[in-house]
Amino acid sequence: MGYVAVIPAAGLGKRMGYDYNKVFIQINEMAIIQMTIEQFEKDRNCDAIYLAARKEEMDSMIDLFSSSHKVKGVFEGGNERQHSIFNVLKNIPECEYVLIHDGARPFVSQDILFELYENVKHKSAVICGVKVKDTIKRIEDGKVKETVPRDELFVTHTPQAFSYDLIMRAYSEAEKNNLSVTDDAGMVESLGEDVHVVTSNYDNIKITTMEDLIMAEAIIKRMVDHHV
């Protein structure tokens, strides 16, 4: 028994500025969402993959993965990432561990997947991320209020790994309390449960704006040059 991957891909990609959902953008003849799914296909600890897609993109998403043995279902997304994920969680069979990962993060490595899976077996909630590289300041009315101690800051990535029972409880409570958060761990934190962290890497970017596409091409070129 391994884990189940839940991949939200039902966004609009507004910040990318294309007239279609950014997860379908092709880099090197592969759609971003295909690159993302490929990493989970490769991971032998991943038993099944479930996706959230926009209603009007359900058919294209199903077609894209029709020959996959691991993609077991595509469910309709909601208005927010949180709604898309909860709809998938409500529709999948009960399992032991769930890894939730943005469809728009195609460079998740096998190392990170392994690290998260090994940790979630003992810790119930484990996220990954990297150290902040810049100096972060809190500002107000155009002036610096304070400099935030950098060694306490962590740039949060996905995948985020949870035991099935904990993440179901966290999403249900969040819905009941109208809690809106920008990552899955936020809901677990609000239950007062510990969320553990492991190190990801700086390649694990979320493709959000045009600059990220340039970065993605550079990462792929480096991988091709180094036969990774």
Ligand X SMILES: O=P(O)(O)OC[C@@H](O)[C@@H](O)[C@@H](O)CO
Ligand Y SMILES: Nc1ccn([C@@H]2O[C@H](COP(=O)(O)OP(=O)(O)OP(=O)(O)O)[C@@H](O)[C@H]2O)c(=O)n1
- Which lies closer to ligand X via its Cβ, residue 15 or residue 221? 15
Residue 190 in the binding site for ligand X (CB under 6 A): no
Which of 31, 37, 61, 77 touches ligand Y (CB under 6 A)? 77
Residue 13 in the binding site for ligand Y (CB under 6 A): yes
Which of 30, 181, 208, 212 touches ligand Y (CB under 6 A)? 208
Stretches 14-22, 67-75, 192-200, 215-223: which one binds ligand Y (CB under 6 A)? 14-22
- Collapsing DSSP states into helix, strand and coil, what is residue 117? helix
Q: Per the structure block, which two tokens stand in for 174?
A: 């969040």
Which of 52, 127, 195, 219 touches ligand Y (CB under 6 A)? 52
Residue 159: is the preceding peptide bond cis (ω within 30°)?
yes
CA-closest candidate to residue 107, choices 184, 214, 200 = 200
Residues 6+ apart with CB under 8 A from 77: 8, 9, 10, 11, 52, 53, 54, 55, 83, 84, 87
- The interface partner of residue 10, options being ligand Y, ligand X, none and the CB cut-off 5 to 8 Å by kind, is ligand Y
Stretches 90-98, 144-152, 154-162, 215-223: which one binds ligand X (CB under 6 A)? 154-162
Q: How far is CA 64 from CA 20, 31, 34, 44, 85, in A?
A: 16, 9, 8, 21, 20
> Which residues lie near ligand X (CB under 6 A)?
81, 102, 156-158, 182-183, 206
